[in-house]
Structure 1
Amino acid sequence: MENLKIIGSEEWCAFETFGIPAIKARVDSGAKTSSIQANGIKTFFKENEEWVSFDVNPLQVNRSISVSCEAKVHAKRSVKSSMGISEERIVIKAPITFGEDTFEIELTLANRDSMEFRMLLGREALHNRYLVNPSSTYLFSNIQEDEVEGMYTTFHTEKSGLKIALLASNPDLFSNKRLMEAGRIRGHEMVFLNVEQAYMKFDAREPQIRYRGGNVIAEFDAIIPRIKPSVTFYACALIRQFDAMGTYCLNSADAITQSRDKLQATQLFAKNDIHIPITGFANSPLDTKDLIKMVNGAPLIVKLLESTQGKGVVLAETSKAAESVINAFKSVKTNILVQEFIKEANGQDIRCFVVNGKVVASMQRQAAKGEFRANIHQGGSASKIKVTLEERKLAVKAAKILGLPVAGVDIIRSNKGPLLLEVNSSPGLEGIEAATGLDIANIMIEAIEKKLKFKKK
């Protein structure tokens, strides 16, 4: 015990064999194994031995810096996450450096994008080496931010690609930051455009889009629209203007408008033989009782046509409650849909992320305790799931009907088979990237490159 060094609860470390000069680690004696953030994990064989290639983004707030690594596969183990979900992870061995100390440890490769630290040091690595002082940090080296930037100057990607604008409202949202980072990693010039600060000049000879202050927005190769519901009308006008000026828009204005109009979308799905929960729509309170019967009675779901992320969705558990809710909405002239409640789903649904006609990722969402609908924005949980061929076809067809190259398609499993709940034209990335470990932002940027036939020099 006397010979053991003291280590803090947070420390800078390095992996010289991978070319990682500095990565911040969380020291956690409660965790058995150590893990490092890894994307793009792929196994391959070298001289009859299994190896793995992966990319590490060593800095928490900067995904534009990416280090490509290779290592021999040491083992594959089932690891249980903090949510109690087990998954198989690849284990490698690598020498780690703390100050003057260098020794080999086992590392599991894991997606840690939603975690505070890119690296976690478990008790196996600490055993017979260190004692942890949880009240101290950076006892081996306290690297300053400007020093870290200097260490990674050779990893900055040269801008030699497309000029892409992200049309949204909040640059600090996880999904928006991820798309900006993913584009920069691939060498593109990324510009954030605030929907509410852009305005248009309509002219046959010289159409323009200007930004607050009178600045004329330069030409872009592509636009990625991520539109919040409250600005749908105005944002779609901007997207049409970009389109008229020859800019490729990842999702068109017409497709976004159709997806946001839940009534029109529901009618399109029914018309194209897509199975949905039985849904009703009526204008007069005089039709309320028959409307309830039409969707197989209570319990039932009442949806605002403008609802998003689970807001504006109400469960009416009895016919009396359903009448009260429906008539209350109608009294204030609010349009709603009434939909059958799928009890056997047990508060679960599936989100399929569709890009250019393919389901590139899928997750299962579980409602929080006391909630009837799965929603990770309201305390629900998410986990990776393998969807069936039928569910995959349903998701792809739904996105195609609305004309959306990029869509989040929500499906519920019922006794009648998979049913379509809704389609989101600006699906979030945080939940599905965390649940699946996939780099969805990168896939979206690749879709733009493919559409514009862009090839890196």
Structure 2
Amino acid sequence: MLDKVIVGSEEWCSFPALGIPTIKARVDSGAKTSALHATNIVPFEKNGENWVKFDINPIQNNIKAVIHCEALLIDKRVVKSSSGYRELRYVIRTVLEIGGSEWDVELTLTNRDSMGFRMLLGREAMSGRILVDPEQKYLLGHPTKEKIKEYYYSEDTAKKGLRIGLLASNPELYSNKRIIEAGEMRGHEMHFLNLKYCYMKLDATAPEIHYRGGRVLNDFDAVIPRIRPSMTYYGCALTRQFEALKVFSLNSSAAISQSRDKLFSLQLLLNNGVDIPTTGFANSPLDTNDLIKMVGGSPLIVKLLEGTQGKGVVLAETKKAAESVINAFKSLNANILVQEFIKEANGKDLRLFVVDGKVVAAMQREALPGEFRANIHLGGTASVVKVTAEEKRIAIKAAKAMNLKVAGVDIIRSSKGPLLLEVNSSPGLEGIEGATQKDIAGEMIKAIEKNFKWK
């Protein structure tokens, strides 16, 4: 008993092997496992073994102090939180130092931003080593403020970050939350700006953008537009206003506008040497028969020009069905594209994520059994895929042709080679980050840093 470390309900400890010199822990004998705050968790292989890398902000409510860690992965385990939520976590083993004693402990990695402590010390890690006096706190003392500053603050972390606005509609979407998190992790001041709450003053000498309540938004360094299709017109107008105020936009208003015009974007891509499935466009129903022949006959795809991704798309399996669908749309004065159906793709397509002229991740998407796919992605499963040099070249060329710094480029593999389906100016992050375990949101923030001159 005399050899055991006596601690209070809260103590400072360290993890020397992870490069964490001091971190405040909640000592909880009611919890079985120990948990360490971690973000950007990415498994990888090193010398034939499974490892995991992650970032940690060791000081609560301080996003500028960041430590990049690596550790051998020993397990993946389902852990039930105090709120009853079950989560699959990565498990590592590392050295804990507390009160002058050291021993190996197992830690689960999880985001503890909503918790009061970056570290939870559970009873498995304490067994045979620690005695807890729950009425006391910090029996082992506090590190001085000077020591914390020495550990976690350098010229780089002290550098003033950028003030970045995320122009979008829903703050709860995975993509939007990840971008905010990634920007804060890199020391920037991030603000979610709801498009519907923004309004603008057009003036030759004093243009302004206001937010609901009268707040002026002229003092941003950069904005990240993530505009849903139904808000394209207004969202691009707002982005243009920010550009008029000399605010850097990750994707420009002009690039977003042209990417949302399906016909114009396809013409632009073809003019830049990017192959697409054979596509037809006509104004009059009298040209329907020739339009069908033009794309190789049935089966074929009919796409509404005003439709969003996955909507307004019909597979016509016979010539008669194609005529009926085309003429029905034409009777409603709807503009449509008619496109050849790539049968050999077998319900699969590729999504390549391009950031600042580089493919940073790629996945393959496959339809669920029995699900209809019309040369587009409608759902199903996602998995990591090795893309060819030609597919990377097409994706980069397409993003460049559209003048997009961030783009989701959809490609289908055909007997003629890879064909481009669509370029998305506001691609989602959840599927591709989940499939590839890559920090794509972080790459987007890096693209802003690269293209911005520090004030």
CA distance in 1, matches of 2:268, 2:179: 30
Name the CA shift for 1:371/1:448 in 2 (closer, same or farther; >3 Å): same
Task: Give me the CA root mean square deviation.
Answer: 4.4
Letter in 1 for 2:357: G
Letter in 2 for 1:390: E
Q: Secondary structure at the match of 2:312?
A: strand
Name the CA shift for 1:168/1:420 in 2 (closer, same or farther; >3 Å): same
Is the deviation greater in 272-281 or in 313-322? 313-322
Q: 38, 41, 45: which is aligned to 1:39?
A: 41
Deviations 1:244-266 (A, max 9, x none): 11111111111001100000011
CA distance in 2, matches of 1:344, 1:237: 41
Partner of 2:191: 191
Name the CA shift for 1:392/1:187 in 2 (closer, same or farther; >3 Å): same
Partner of 2:312: 312
Among all aligned residue pairs of Structure 1 and Structure 2, give the percentage whose two residues are the same amino acid. 59
Task: State yes or no: 1:55 paired with 2:54.
Answer: yes
CA distance in 1, matches of 2:342, 2:293: 15
Number of aligned positions between the proteins:
387
- For residues 226-241 of structure 1, the aligned pairs below 5 Å read 226-241=226-241
Say which one has the larger Rg: 2
Is this contact kept in 2: 1:255–1:402, CA < 8 A?
yes
CA apart distance, 1:307: 2.5
Partner of 1:409: 409
CA distance in 1, matches of 2:167, 2:46: 39
CA distance in 2, matches of 1:454, 1:52: 35
Deviations 1:315-365 (A, max 9, x none): 111111111111111111111111000001011000010111111111110
Partner of 2:425: 425
TM-score (norm 2): 0.73
Partner of 1:293: 293
Task: State yes or no: 1:383 paired with 2:393.
Answer: no
Letter in 2 for 1:55: F
Is this contact kept in 2: 1:365–1:376, CA < 8 A?
no
- For residues 8-407 of structure 1, the aligned pairs below 5 Å read 17=15, 18=18, 21=25, 39=41, 54-56=53-55, 68=67, 70=69, 73=72, 93-94=93-94, 160-373=160-373, 378-407=378-407
CA apart distance, 1:291: 0.8
Is this contact kept in 2: 1:63–1:178, CA < 8 A?
no
Which 5+ residue runs of structure 1 have no aligned equivalent? 1-13, 28-35, 80-89, 114-125, 130-139, 141-152
Q: Secondary structure at the match of 1:187?
A: coil
CA apart distance, 1:369: 1.9
Letter in 1 for 2:54: D
CA distance in 2, matches of 1:360, 1:259: 20
Name the CA shift for 1:273/1:297 in 2 (closer, same or farther; >3 Å): same
Name the CA shift for 1:324/1:376 in 2 (closer, same or farther; >3 Å): closer
CA distance in 2, matches of 1:74, 1:169: 38
Name the CA shift for 1:437/1:322 in 2 (closer, same or farther; >3 Å): same
Q: Secondary structure at the match of 1:307?
A: coil
CA apart distance, 1:41: 5.7
Letter in 2 for 1:289: N
Name the CA shift for 1:95/1:374 in 2 (closer, same or farther; >3 Å): farther
Name the CA shift for 1:64/1:349 in 2 (closer, same or farther; >3 Å): farther
CA apart distance, 1:453: 3.3
Name the CA shift for 1:397/1:379 in 2 (closer, same or farther; >3 Å): closer
Name the CA shift for 1:159/1:312 in 2 (closer, same or farther; >3 Å): farther
Name the CA shift for 1:174/1:71 in 2 (closer, same or farther; >3 Å): closer
Is the deviation greater in 372-381 or in 15-24? 15-24
Name the CA shift for 1:70/1:169 in 2 (closer, same or farther; >3 Å): closer
Is this contact kept in 1: 2:295–2:338, CA < 8 A?
yes
CA distance in 2, matches of 1:198, 1:382: 35
Partner of 1:136: none
Name the CA shift for 1:70/1:231 in 2 (closer, same or farther; >3 Å): closer
Name the CA shift for 1:57/1:376 in 2 (closer, same or farther; >3 Å): farther
Deviations 1:209-232 (A, max 9, x none): 112233322311101000001111
Is the deviation greater in 339-348 or in 203-212? 203-212
CA distance in 2, matches of 1:71, 1:362: 24
Which 5+ residue runs of structure 2 have no aligned equivalent? 1-11, 32-37, 77-89, 98-102, 112-123, 133-144
CA apart distance, 1:160: 2.6
Q: Secondary structure at the match of 1:219?
A: coil
Partner of 1:447: 447
Deviations 1:112-135 (A, max 9, x none): 89xxxxxxxxxxxx9xx9xxxxxx
Q: Secondary structure at the match of 2:171?
A: coil
Deviations 1:114-162 (A, max 9, x none): xxxxxxxxxxxx9xx9xxxxxxxxxx9xxxxxxxxxxxx9899878300
Runs of 4+ in structure 1 over 3 Å off = 14-24, 40-45, 49-53, 56-59, 62-75, 90-97, 102-107, 153-159, 374-379
CA apart distance, 1:305: 1.2
Letter in 2 for 1:39: I
